Amino acid sequence: MLGWAILMPIGAMVARYMRQWDPIWFYSHIAVQSFAFVLGLSGVICGLVLENRLNVSVDKHKTLGIVILVLGCLQVIALLGRPDKASKVRKYWNWYHFGVGRALIFLAAVNVFYGIHLGGAGSGWNAGFAVALVVLFVIALILELRICLRK
């Protein structure tokens, strides 16, 4: 939950909004995303171990988690192959990177809600996670409006 659904959006927001003020913020998103990826990978491994130990069937949740992990790996690979800003293909790389990143964040949030449901954690967990997502969305909206007003 923390890695894929909270830290990944924060890392994306750092990359999108903070680079305009200080380049060091832009590069710090790599650290946040790396930490999020490691936490997310740990979560996937723990989930696979728990599934075997508890002898439960969570096929949809597991499949979605693996898809999210693959998308995360593709993002890491994409960073290694990022073309220079002057390159003609940089525009397409940006489309790919932004698209896969947004899909990853959306699917992670969906999978967290589904995991809360499967775990029978109750409406308190759903509400808490929803509040966290709304707070992140409002912050992103404010920062996006700030960019639009500057132009």
Give a three-class secondary structure readout of the chain: CHHHHHHHHHHHHHHHHHCCCCHHHHHHHHHHHHHHHHHHHHHHHHHHHHHHHHCCCCHHHHHHHHHHHHHHHHHHHHHHCCCCCCCCCHHHHHHHHHHHHHHHHHHHHHHHHHHHHHHCCCHHHHHHHHHHHHHHHHHHHHHHHHHHHHC
Instruction: Return the CATH fold of 2-150.
Output: Four Helix Bundle (Hemerythrin (Met), subunit A) (1.20.120)
Tokens describing residue 55: 């002898």
CB 61 within 8 A of CB 107: no
Averaged pLDDT score across all residues of the chain: 86
Tokens describing residue 44: 């996937």
**How far is residue 149's CA from residue 134's CA, in Å, rounded to a whole number?**
22
Residue 25 has pLDDT above 80, yes or no: no
The count of other CB atoms within 10 Å of the CB of residue 21 is 9
In angstroms, how far is the first alpha carbon of the chain from the final one? 36
Residues in the chain, overall count: 151
Structure confidence at residue 100 as a pLDDT band (50, 70, 90): very high
pTM attached to this predicted model: 0.82
Segment 81-104 mean pLDDT: 91
For 29-46, write each residue's pLDDT tens digit: 777 788 888 888 888 888
CB 126 within 8 A of CB 113: yes
Residue 6 has pLDDT above 90, yes or no: no
For 44-80, write each residue's pLDDT tens digit: 888 888 887 887 778 899 899 889 989 988 988 888 8
Looking at residue 128, what is its pLDDT? Answer: 93
What percentage of residues in the chain have a pLDDT greater than 70? 93
